[in-house]
A and B are shown apart, each in its own frame.
Chain A
Amino acid sequence: MSINGLRNRAYKGAAVLVLGAALAATAGCGSDSSGSAAAGGGGAGVAQALALAQKSTTRPTSIGLTKPIGKPVPSGKKVVFISCGVAACEAQGDIIKQGAADLGWSAQTIGTDGSPEQLQNAFETALRDGADAIVLNAVNRASVAKQLEKAKQQGVAFVTSSSVDKTGDGILANVAGTQNSAKIGENMAAQIVADSHGKANTLYVNISAFQILQALGDQFKSSYAKYCPDCQYGSIDIPITALGKDAPDRIVSYLRSHPQVNYVVLSVSNALGSGLPAALRAAGLADKVKIVGQSGDSQTFQDLQAKSYNSIVPYDYYTVDYLMLDALARHFAGAKPQSALPPLWIVTPNNMPAEATKGLFPVVASYRDEFKKLWGK
């Protein structure tokens, strides 16, 4: 075929491709948007929300676990912490070390990039190095099934947090699992309904790649509808590849096409909030919406202090990590397991601790003393 013929074919082909893409995208569903359910009792719901929000805005003073172990905790145990690679995991290595020292144990961190191959390798290394206990956050049972089996056979204890997998069969404990996520979702819904006095129109921003967030999102949606049946709700999902660069743009676009939205919920503030306040300001939307976020890093709290956020429910790494160590301590002491949810706190610009903008901070200031008392140390 001549060059000209090929060229013409190429033009037509390109046009078809673009058109095809457009049609395909149109055929797909758009974002999820639901209106109000007709159930009445708007005032009662708001009152409930107000009560919950008020309670949760007070800083918790206790870790929530009260039963001491009662039996002596053997010392000299070796804990290996497998870091999943992202900043949040890296920071926990120090906390685990501190907690292990409080128990008279030693702790070691193995860094990974989060890929299944490296996680498996780290697991194998830990077993080879004679670990008594292994800690890996947000474990996905399927990707380390063989290693879990091996650990079980060798009598090595394994604990995790923020995982969607059930305990048992190799997993001793799962701290801050789906139950915790649901609790957070409920509280965030309460916060919004209370803050808006029942006049909220909310965008929920999800990252479906993080499975633990599903419980959070589901609970948020149902609690939100319960507290305020007349309030509008919409949600978008941000793919992992858009984090850090395109997320603010997508959120701004949604807000521009839904001008009535006045609240935005960030399921993970660290990733979704990066660059968001500036983008909102540039688009002239900063005064129109309030942001409520889950988790968050020092930058998030910096923005909170500058009143770019309405409120944040922080992830308490300290309590979560100590709860994991607590489960291990009870296990090695031969005591009954105790599960507890880490205490929840809704942080606002008014009640924010100064240390929050510097890095990780414990929600319960006295966590360390409380745990040591439980452990008999």
Chain B
Amino acid sequence: MTLTAVPEPVTEPAAPERAVAARTGPSSAQRLARGLAFDRIGAVYVWLGIIVLFSVWAPQTFPNLDTAKQILNSNAITALGALSITIPLAARVFDLSFAGVMTLTGVAVAHLIVEEHVPVVAAIAIALGVGVGIGVINAVVVVVMRIDSFIATLATGSLIAALVTMVTNEVPITDARLGGTFAKIGQTSVSGITLGVVYCAVVAVAIWYLLEHTATGRRLYATGFNPDAARLAGVRIDRLRFASLVASGGLAGATGIILASTLGSGSPSAGTPYLLPAFAAAFLGATQLKHGRFNAGGTIIAVLLLGTGVTGLALANAPSWAGDMFVGVVLIAALALTGLQRRTSAR
């Protein structure tokens, strides 16, 4: 083993140095200004710009409350999916199986209600357990067997897909039984806003609290940024990574149940379209608000930004190729405005 004495970081001091004095930080006005800076919420400015753009482009239909509700409703599931992977991402753990888990729990709850005649509440509980169970399996493979999370969850996702096909034979599980109480979970609306949006808000607040205001949240970030240093500082990194994958499995499971309720069936392809958009939102969200840390608020901003584009373009009767182009342009614009938050930018 060679001795690794570390040389000085070759930096210039960023601001005049003085011994840390009393806690008179910047004034609230200064903090507000800093909070509203482009490099904090660049995506929000792009979002506002897009709202203006569409309001001008489709003045009859876009700028009203119904549009806002429509955007919220149609992006609730994506947001829930993105939130569920935010926790492991904070610890730099990738859960690529979450879309499969969404499909699986949707199929499971439908199967239980339709084929096994299990009462709705019990079926939901069992299906949630399935989601948590997959999370545990992921955690064992990643933490105990020490397999890279990216590859490991790709693999478990594939296994889940096989399981789904086994259960459904590619035919959606439907029945009138899924229409009653069960459908109410996802389809009830409160003054035009579906319950999915409400769940999303609850989960977002919970995750924000976890990551911002608890010791566990801080430890998750430490585990993600520098596992060696965290371990030496007494953080139990293996336990945290394990728990993060169980959490994402559980949340993805809940999302899948809500999705099945919205669709009114256990569809064997329900979760697949959400994989990439959720990751895109989570990564874009990490550049917002918290400078490179995955966070709930940023994720929501990202989902809304992309969702507003889809709906706005459709309301403005844009050609069908405009959607993909929009996503590309917007992502680049939001990231450029924010500045790429990388480790080296701090030096």
Contact = CB atoms under 8 A, between A and B. Distances in A.
Contacts of A301: 174
A275 B310 contact: no
Contacts of A239: 320-321, 323-324
B264 A278 contact: yes
Interface in A43-81: none
Contacts of A145: none
A275 B260 CA distance: 9
A301 B174 CA distance: 9
Interface in B17-57: 38, 46, 49-50, 53, 57
Interface in B309-347: 310-311, 313-326, 329-330, 332-333, 336-337, 339
B320 A14 contact: no
B156 interface: no
A252 B194 CA distance: 15
A282 B174 contact: no
A282 B192 CA distance: 6
B176 A275 contact: no
Given A249-B311, A281-B187, A25 B336 contact: no
Contacts of B277: 245
A29 B61 CA distance: 18
- Indicate the size class of the contact surface on chain B: 35 or more
B265 A299 contact: yes
A211 interface: no
Nearest to A3: B339
Contacts, number: 172
B78 interface: yes
Interface residues of A, number: 60
Interface string B138-176: 000000000000000000000000000000011111111
B59 to A, nearest CB: 11
A299 B172 contact: yes
B267 A274 contact: yes
Nearest to A281: B187
A22 to B, nearest CB: 6
A186 to B, nearest CB: 26
Contact of B319 (A14, A17, A25): A25
Interface string B47-83: 0011001000110110000110110011000100000
Contact of B336 (A14, A236, A248, A298): A14
B171 A18 contact: no
A298 B265 contact: yes
B321 A18 contact: no
A282 B319 contact: no
A246 B333 contact: no
Contacts of B287: none
Nearest to A251: B314
Given A25-B319, A253-B314, A14 B171 contact: no
A241 B324 contact: yes
A90 B267 contact: no
A127 interface: no
B329 A17 contact: yes
B251 to A, nearest CB: 19
Given A10-B337, A236-B320, A257-B315, A284 B273 contact: no
B28 to A, nearest CB: 26
A275 B170 contact: no
Interface string A270-306: 0000110111011110000000000001110111011
A44 B329 CA distance: 52
Instruction: Describe A's contact surface by its main secondary structure.
Output: helix
A377 to B, nearest CB: 28
A274 B272 CA distance: 13
Contacts of A31: 317, 319
Contacts of B170: 86-87, 90-91
Contacts of B217: none
Contact of A11 (B38, B171, B189, B326): B38
A244 B269 contact: yes
Contacts of A297: 171-172
A302 B336 contact: no
Interface in A14-54: 14-15, 17-18, 20-22, 24-26, 28-31
Contacts of A253: 61, 70, 311, 314-315
B332 A357 contact: no
Nearest to B318: A25
A250 interface: yes
B65 to A, nearest CB: 12
Interface in B173-217: 173-176, 178-179, 186-187, 189, 192, 194
Given A298-B265, A357-B175, A359-B171, A283 B314 contact: no
Given A277-B264, A297-B171, A246 B323 contact: yes
Contacts of A146: none
B320 A238 contact: yes
Given A10-B337, A302-B264, A22 B53 contact: yes
A237 interface: yes
A20 B174 CA distance: 46
A283 B67 CA distance: 9
A10 B46 CA distance: 13
5 contacts: A242-B323, A246-B310, A249-B311, A301-B174, A357-B176
Interface of B: 38, 46, 49-50, 53, 57-58, 60-61, 66-67, 69-70, 73-74, 78, 169-176, 178-179, 186-187, 189, 192, 194, 262-265, 267-270, 272-274, 277, 310-311, 313-326, 329-330, 332-333, 336-337, 339
Interface of A: 7, 10-11, 13-15, 17-18, 20-22, 24-26, 28-31, 86-87, 90-91, 236-239, 241-246, 248-250, 252-254, 256-257, 274-275, 277-279, 281-284, 297-299, 301-303, 305-306, 357, 359-360
Among all A-B residue pairs, the 8 with the closest Cβ atoms: A253-B314, A87-B170, A30-B317, A302-B174, A14-B333, A245-B273, A244-B273, A249-B74
